[in-house]
């Protein structure tokens, strides 16, 4: 049944951070076409972990990208946030999209990874522009089958279109990379806590100068089943409502007693 709030075809902007050639965005766009009109605007190359960077000192080009002989979308020489901004503000000539869906990322975006994630930032940019948005990630860096995650993303996108999201809020979705039959359910979660075990490989270039290659490992310190990463580890799809207002209101009121104003 067509919900009354969805009067016409849903217009969906799809982006990602793995680049327009990544299998995850093709699986996602294919499924979302079953619920609406999809326009893909995505970085032309790998942009993972660029966070919410935008391009201000270089030109941004958008090149039509074809897959199997058919127009697939616009490959943007820029970041995920650039792609969504350009898509909403300029490329979607028929008007604003009803939804922005980012992904499907190859790799999890839970706990502290949310802050580094280009996948989440593409969705965040949609939210900044006032459009209900969600980010979807599949939690493996190995071999990936995006089909279940893509079907789930379409069902959730439909629900988000019906329900809407409050201003400044978006959904961060992580799908365990296990067979569909082993998925135990969908759990509403909060962002988990974690640290990164950062190490740098020290290598030598042909001129014998040292260079460094970051090798990180996410170290989840949470044990709470409501934490995003724990839900995923327990075989649940994790759905976390997040926002980008970084103000800590608790510390703000505590600092009223510090006498900061007397420092002037
Ligand atoms: Mn990525």
The residues placing their C-beta within 5 Å of ligand 1, an ion, are 17-18, 48, 105
Burial 196-214 (b: 16+ CB within 10 A, else e): eeeeeeeeeeeeeeeeeee
Give 233 Cα–ligand 1 centroid separation in angstroms.
Answer: 20
Residue 207 phi/psi, 5° resolution? Answer: -95, 15
What is the arithmetic mean of pLDDT over 217-246?
95
Of 164, 86, 94, nearest in space to 131 by CA = 164
Give 48 Cα–ligand 1 centroid separation in angstroms.
Answer: 4
Q: How many domains, the chain? A: 1
What is the arithmetic mean of pLDDT over 14-41?
98
Quote the pLDDT of residue 244. Answer: 95
Residue 2 in this model has a pLDDT that exceeds 60: no
Quote the pLDDT of residue 1. Answer: 45
Residue 148 lies in a domain: yes
User: In the numeric block, which tokens belong to residue 120?
Assistant: 């989440």
Give the SS3 label for residue 126.
helix
Residue 2 lies in a domain: no
User: In the numeric block, which tokens belong to residue 29?
Assistant: 């766009």
Give 5 Cα–ligand 1 centroid separation in angstroms.
Answer: 33
Give 8 Cα–ligand 1 centroid separation in angstroms.
Answer: 32
111 band by pLDDT with thresholds 50, 70 and 90: very high
Give the SS3 label for residue 36.
strand
Quote the pLDDT of residue 53. Answer: 97
What is the arithmetic mean of pLDDT over 155-180?
97
- Check which CATH number belongs to the domain holding 203 and give it: 3.40.1210.10
Of 91, 89, 81, 46, nearest in space to 244 by CA = 81
Residue 222 in this model has a pLDDT that exceeds 70: yes
3-state helix, strand, coil in the chain (%, to 5): 30, 30, 40
- How many C-beta atoms surround the C-beta of residue 233 within 10 A? 17
Burial 106-134 (b: 16+ CB within 10 A, else e): bbbbbbbbbebbbbbbbbbbbbbbebbbb
Residue 4 lies in a domain: no
Q: Are 237 and 185 in contact (CB under 8 A)?
A: yes
Quote the pLDDT of residue 218. Answer: 84
Distance between CA atoms of residues 75 and 11, nearest Å = 19
Residue 5 lies in a domain: no
Q: What is the pLDDT of residues 125-151, one digit of tens each?
A: 999 999 999 999 999 988 899 999 999
Residue 135 lies in a domain: yes
Give 40 Cα–ligand 1 centroid separation in angstroms.
Answer: 16
Q: What is the pLDDT of residues 80-98, one digit of tens each?
A: 999 999 999 999 977 899 9
Residue 79 lies in a domain: yes
What is the arithmetic mean of pLDDT over 39-43?
98
Residue numbers of the domain that contains 58: 10-259
Give 106 Cα–ligand 1 centroid separation in angstroms.
Answer: 6
Residue 1 lies in a domain: no
Give 252 Cα–ligand 1 centroid separation in angstroms.
Answer: 34
Residue 3 lies in a domain: no
């Amino acid at each position: 049944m067509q919900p009354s709030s969805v009067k016409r075809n849903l217009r969906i902007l799809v982006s990602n951070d793995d680049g327009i050639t990544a299998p995850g965005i093709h699986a996602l766009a294919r499924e979302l076409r079953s619920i609406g009109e999809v326009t893909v605007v995505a970085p032309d190359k790998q942009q993972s972990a660029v966070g919410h960077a935008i391009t201000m000192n270089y030109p941004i080009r958008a090149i039509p990208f074809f897959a199997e002989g058919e127009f697939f979308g616009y490959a943007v020489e820029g970041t995920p946030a650039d792609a969504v901004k350009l898509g909403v503000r300029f490329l979607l000539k028929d008007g604003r999209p009803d939804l922005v869906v980012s992904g499907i990322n190859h790799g999890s975006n839970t706990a502290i990874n949310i802050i580094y994630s280009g996948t989440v930032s593409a969705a965040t940019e949609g939210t900044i522009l006032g459009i209900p948005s969600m980010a979807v990630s599949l939690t493996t860096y190995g071999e990936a089958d995006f089909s279940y995650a893509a079907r789930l993303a379409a069902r959730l996108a439909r629900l988000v279109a019906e329900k809407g999201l409050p201003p400044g809020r978006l959904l961060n979705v992580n799908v365990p990379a296990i067979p569909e039959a082993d998925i135990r359910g969908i759990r509403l979660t909060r962002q988990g806590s974690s640290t990164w075990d950062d190490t740098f490989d020290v290598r030598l270039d042909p001129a014998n100068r040292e260079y460094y290659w970051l090798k990180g490992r996410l170290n989840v310190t949470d044990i709470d089943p409501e934490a995003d990463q724990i839900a995923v580890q327990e075989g649940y799809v994790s759905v976390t409502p997040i926002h980008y207002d970084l103000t800590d209101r608790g510390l703000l009121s505590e600092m009223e007693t510090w006498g900061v104003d007397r420092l002037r």
